[in-house]
Structure 1
Amino acid sequence: MIEPRIALVGAGWVVRNVWAPLLVQHNAHIVSVIDPQTDASTAFPAMSPGPRWHRCMSDQALHNCNLALICSPNVHHVQQALRAMGQGLHVILEKPACLSSADAEQLIRCSRETGAELLVSAAAAHRSDVRAMAAARGALGTLHCIDVSWRRRRGVPRPGSWFTQASQALAGSGADLGWHLLEVALHALDYPLIDAALCNHVPATADEAQQQATWRGDQGPGGAIEVESQSFSCLQARGGTLVRMSTAWASHQEHDETRITLYGSAGELCLRTTVGFSQNRIQQPSLTLTVDGTQTSLAFAAEDNLAPYRDFLGSRIASLGTCAQTREHEYRKLRSLASAMSALYPHLTPSCTARPGH
């Protein structure tokens, strides 16, 4: 077991409120914060000694670190992960890890060559309701189709920021919310490759810039949204199973709602809940198994919003760099998710990635 010495690449909301506190709980030492924003230098006042602050990734920024958590704008993920692994650091990539199969293969090749662990953050699969769904999967027989949707009432992430700029985010809700949904759907299918997709990425309307995610506490008026706010797609997994997906940062719904339905030869399984940190949540989440016209409610443990992230870190940090089986599983997962992103966004290629060091 290594003693984690962390380089935080990006110091935005999810790092400050989720990842950094949980890493400290797991006895990690945050050594370095890499973010061009000046306020990142004082983002963690309670830490003693405080981490170093660097505006960009460099040898100095990664010095004395053995694990990089990459939560930067999407366009930089691949090159920053390659740079960190090239210096011998293990890497945790926040979603979406990458948006093309070619980039996934480049990341996997670098991980193999350097011996550095490559982990894709997977909080959704560690939720108690999703684990209960996975435990009941065997009752469904052969899976024919999976429906996944995550539609928010008002939940655009910081309009006008990198989240909504095409040059930085590369894609919108289909990659942001869709990555979590596909993580669950493709896990249920043992992470197959996606062979094809039909998509309708819906551009944001002008008024959606005012429908920002209130739980983030962002200040100031909204800016332009250059990526899709809604996405509707049908993906075909290798083997024939269909995955139908719907995402929305803003919609006409009363509550922010996530639905996952598995259709099998022997039954159907439906989860209704709210993924993420929204305060406009489904008040009574449910998991229902339907077989031959009979519905059965399945129980799952109540948990706080940080629990899936805590569980993910707890299951991964202790074994970093020691388990070949875990490493191959991560490669399979990344290939599957990246193939879905390639099918959803065929116009994005490895040439979209940023220059090293950013």
Structure 2
Amino acid sequence: MANYLESIPSTMKGIQLVGHGGLDQLVLNQQIDTPIPCASDVLIKVGAAGVNNTDLNTRIGWYSKNDNDSEDASWAGTALKLPLIQGADVCGVVVAVGERADKQLLGKRVLIEPSLWEVDGKKLQHAWYFGSECNGGFAEYAKVSAKHAHVIECDLTDEELASFPCSYSTAENLLTRAKVKPGDRVLITGASGGVGSAAIQLAKARGAGVVAITSGSKAEGIRNIGADLVVDREQSLVETLGENSVDVVIDLVAGEVWPQLLEVMKPFGRYAVSGAIGGPMVQLDVRTLYLKDLSFFGCTVLEPEVFPNLIKRIEAGDIKPLVDKVYPLEEIHEAQTQFATKKHIGKIVLKIS
């Protein structure tokens, strides 16, 4: 029997993804069964949840490698269990703990680690993503394994804290996998997005120099969050930076300019990628890869130390939340429409309660 902090209603409101396609596939439901935590779970009263590329990509079936076929259109390459509550970025308060979960979590404000290795008390062979392979945080309540609920102690609001989990853990994972160290020169593509802007702050916190690629209209905003040099995405990287000029590339874009990323990398450079918003198919000259002794890292599943390290950075004030706009949960269509314009810097967040 779980221990409850307060009386929990049997039903809750939330946004359900009912199929792949447009915004009409996101439906507000006022009578969703409230999750019941298993022995190793916690139940969280969600305060706020951030909007991510993952939410949009899952909705439209972008992850499918078979023309948006629903059979492989999830983050893990399998069919989704619909209806689904999305939402990977979650801040809230633990209101119930299972009998095997840490009782000290009760009443604590937490951030959910979105890369999951345990769901419904079962260990997973392959990581799931919160709000993709299982229900997430676009609802009044969410459950998750206690091991993935991290206590956060700081003065930031729920909306500010909800800007961190997905984007910042992804960015920290990229930097961790690429072994970014003090003195490295790091090139970051897609620098104005949630992950890109997070990577700027986290790279600077590590003592690295940052070259950020973005549109000209966002250059000042990107400098304000710490970039040492901003390059307009319409410029030639080779002409602007020169060959062999950066130690690490953190790539969120891919697309047509991808070969230039390898040209500007120094010998023994490290390339880490977790996105392809510019297009997933690229041209690779294998000679560049082996003649420059480059290392490539595909980064999806978080390294074990990543989320605890992120919590420490937040509590120490090493990084700051970047919230562009907050919408109520009921306005998720407007929030995702604004998100898709890519005119913002940082995060768009839904206020749940």
Shorter-chain TM-score range: 0.3 to 0.5
Structure with higher strand content: 2
* TM-score between the two structures when normalised by the length of structure 1: 0.37
- Higher-RCO chain (CA-CA 8 Å, sequence separation at least 6): 1
Structure with higher helix content: 1
* TM-score between the two structures when normalised by the length of structure 2: 0.37
